[in-house]
Amino acid sequence: MKAKKVGLAGALVVFLASPAGAQTLTVEKARAIVTPFYEALNRSAEKDVAKLLEQATSSDWMSCGGNDACFPREKVIGDLRAVVLFCRT
């Protein structure tokens, strides 16, 4: 639960800093933005992870574990797809 709150807060900060964030952001809109991402990570063996992550992120989205450890969306999706396939076997 704590990770969801931190993830949601981080997503909101990024969203509000973007041009799209100039619009009014309601709780419902915020949930709609981040829900596909969490759906991809929750019971992912039963879902189309790539489709959900593509839906939840922009084409230039990056996942960063530090200032010099960032990966583009395609690599993250590929890595998660590999984990899902491994878990299915």
Write out the chain's pLDDT in tens, 89 residues.
444 444 555 565 565 555 554 568 889 988 888 888 888 877 667 788 888 889 888 999 999 988 889 999 999 988 888 887 777 66
Report pLDDT for 2.
46
Predicted confidence at residue 20, as pLDDT, reads 54
Q: What is the pLDDT of residue 56?
A: 86
Q: What is the full DSSP assignment across 34-86?
A: HHHHHHHHSSGGGS-HHHHHHHHS-TT-EEESSTT-EEEHHHHHHHHHHHHHH
- What's the predicted TM-score (pTM) here? 0.56
pLDDT of residue 88: 64
The per-residue pLDDT for 10 is 59
Cα atoms in the 13 Å half-sphere on the side-chain side of 6: 3
